[in-house]
Chains A and B, each alone.
Chain A
Amino acid sequence: MSKRYLLALYNNFEEAEAVVSELRNTDIKGFSSADDLVVKSPIEHPEVEAFLGEKPVYVQWFTLVGATLGGLLAFSLIAGSQANFYAQMKGGKPIVPLPPDFVLTYEMFILGGVYITVLGFLICAGLPARRSPLYSAKVSEDQIGILVKSEEGSVSRFKDIFTKHKALEIQEEAGR
């Protein structure tokens, strides 16, 4: 059966929360609130997570890998070049002196951490991406958008729920 997308716009978080709660508790054929429901909001709003239910974030794992690799890479590069004592005579001093090497290792630890965190953010947030056809500029202003993916036959049920909760506007688009 073909899919359709619906976007309903609301004035505030309370209204959006009521809609999401109803959608999560209603049994609509072929609709899963975990996979087919997206809330779009103009601000970072922890309450959205509260009413959507907890979803995992993996960015911090990218951070761990990036920082560790950055530090290791820096130390191995520096120590590797220092160990080439044909090029640098040490005059009895340690070939690989740890205290000064720690400084550059530390900087690369942070550099790797920051770069890979941002890479992780892009991957986990699905960016860069084409804007979905059902996007309203009002979402970046002051309205909350609820986007659902539904089967053709369930569109009217979604519309009923959205209208019941006083949606400001409902947009519809054929799915891909």
Chain B
Amino acid sequence: MGKDIREDIAWAQINRDVLKSLESPRKLYWVIIFAAMLVFSVGVGCEIYQYNTGMGVANLDNPHVWGLYIATFIFWIGMSHSGTLLSAILHLMHADWRKPIYRFAEAMTTFSLMTAGLFVMVHLGRLWQFYYAVPYPNERWTWPNFQSPLLWDAMAIFTYLSSSVIFLYVGMIPDLAICRDHLHPGWRKKLYTLLALGWEGTDRQWRNFRMTYLTVACFLIPLAVSVHSIVASDFAMSQQPGWHVTSFPPYFVAGALYSGCAAIITLFIILRYVFRFEEYMTLPILKKTVRLTFAIAMVWTYLNCIEFASVWYSHDQVAKDVLIQKATGTYAPFWWAMIFCGSVVPFAMMVKKWQTNIPVMFAVSLLLNLGMWLERWMIVSPTFSHGYYPWTWDHNQWPSMIQWGIVFGSFGWFTLLFMVFCKVFPSVSMYEVKEMVYHRSLELKKKELAAKGAN
């Protein structure tokens, strides 16, 4: 495998390259922004229509009280998990190849959580009653049900979102100081000056920074696991057939990491091209990300098999019927597409040549994401079509155009936020890339000295 990064790249060059990305991206950037705004406005239009007309236009009914909204909510929550994986877990494991790419993964975490939060409200329909999910004291002494996983969700997502934003911000302070020092005067310089908090890179600041970053990383890992376990509990703690499965929390966590990793590959390739990051988002790093994704894909496949097996060997006939219906009923094409995209397509990542083939990996990552989105849909809808009551049997539901519009709109919203972030803030961590270059060049020097000694 080639080098993750060139050891001879000058530190000043790193600053220049990353700062340049804040000013002059390729034209494709503006095309993406325009497309994202267009898709987002479709979503906003659909939401306004749904708000004014009522939830009937979403085509949600009884028993299909949850549809694409909840499926997409889980999808976005899941996508947020790889930011934590790359920034926190790999940080604790001293895997320094994460350094050029973790920043955008953290941003992805933040924006996908913000998108997921929107779906809770969209799904409610009655937006003005959202506050009922929030535990706060009130004069009527009516408390939310603390035993409900839905309330746990609200708390977990708030904790994860605010902690992720803090983690992203704290990790960016030294880079914001670089932006402050090297960009031309203007509104941006004022913004960076404010956000850099007067950072000067003193030994005292670095010492405390290192401890803080490590500590928050340690908190984020169990937090990320708890967030998706709690989302899984929304389902697993109910009595619905197909959902009441003990393997759901680890299955959800694995699925979350999987979809997040696939999204990282997609965004890696886009950012690499749009912001001319070929020097930092290198092919060996892509290869490592692809291998990590493949490993997680296999864990997800294994947990899928466990889930099917536990349903199959149980005496729960209704749950078994749901499984059979998924494989043979109305939802079968989507269910098999999920299996294909989630468990078969990853094997393309085993082909060494393809691991660094950008078009192939881009296509594969999109298919993996599609598979993971289908997985969420296949968790939610088929169960409602075959519940405990015979009247629900074969009561299939196809999402309305309004539902589809809002779901697509969320992709526009996420893309818009993400691309604006990458234009305003450095999406490659400059100080950490410098660290990486420094340590790699030290290693190289040691090797050269050892080789000379041997000769």
Contact = CB atoms under 8 A, between A and B. Distances in A.
Interface in A110-137: 110-111, 113-115, 117-118, 120-122, 124-132, 135, 137
A115 B166 contact: yes
B22 interface: no
A149 interface: no
Contacts of A118: 166, 170, 212, 216
A43 B435 contact: yes
B49 interface: no
Which among B142, B158, B200, B207 has the greatest number of chain A C-beta atoms within 10 A?
B200
Contacts of A39: 202-203
Contacts of A100: 146-147, 152
Interface string B145-166: 0110001100110110011001
A30 interface: no
A57 B211 contact: yes
B198 A49 contact: no
Interface string A44-77: 1100110010010101100100010000000001
Contacts of B432: 43
B223 interface: yes
A125 B210 CA distance: 11
Nearest to A137: B181
Interface size range of chain A in the complex: 35 or more
A163 interface: no
B141 A87 contact: yes
A97 interface: yes
Interface stretch (B8-16, B238-246, B314-322, B324-332): B8-16
B347 interface: no
A44 B209 contact: yes
Contacts of B203: 38-41, 48-49, 52, 55
Contact of B12 (A40, A48, A107, A141): A141
B206 interface: yes
A152 to B, nearest CB: 24
A22 interface: no
Interface string B90-117: 0000000000000000000000000000
B139 to A, nearest CB: 12
A81 B12 contact: no
Interface string B205-242: 11111111001100110110010001000000000000
Contacts of A59: 208, 211-212, 215
Given A59-B212, A104-B152, A121-B208, A127 B201 contact: no
Contact of A121 (B170, B222, B230): B170
A3 to B, nearest CB: 18
A21 interface: no
A128 B201 contact: no
Interface of B: 10-12, 15, 135, 137, 141-143, 146-147, 151-152, 155-156, 158-159, 162-163, 166-167, 170, 173-174, 177-178, 181-182, 197-212, 215-216, 219-220, 222-223, 226, 230, 431-432, 434-435, 438
27 contacts: A39-B202, A43-B435, A44-B209, A44-B431, A59-B211, A60-B211, A63-B215, A82-B143, A82-B146, A86-B141, A87-B142, A87-B143, A110-B219, A110-B222, A111-B158, A113-B219, A114-B162, A114-B220, A115-B162, A120-B212, A128-B197, A130-B198, A137-B181, A139-B201, A141-B12, A141-B182, A147-B202
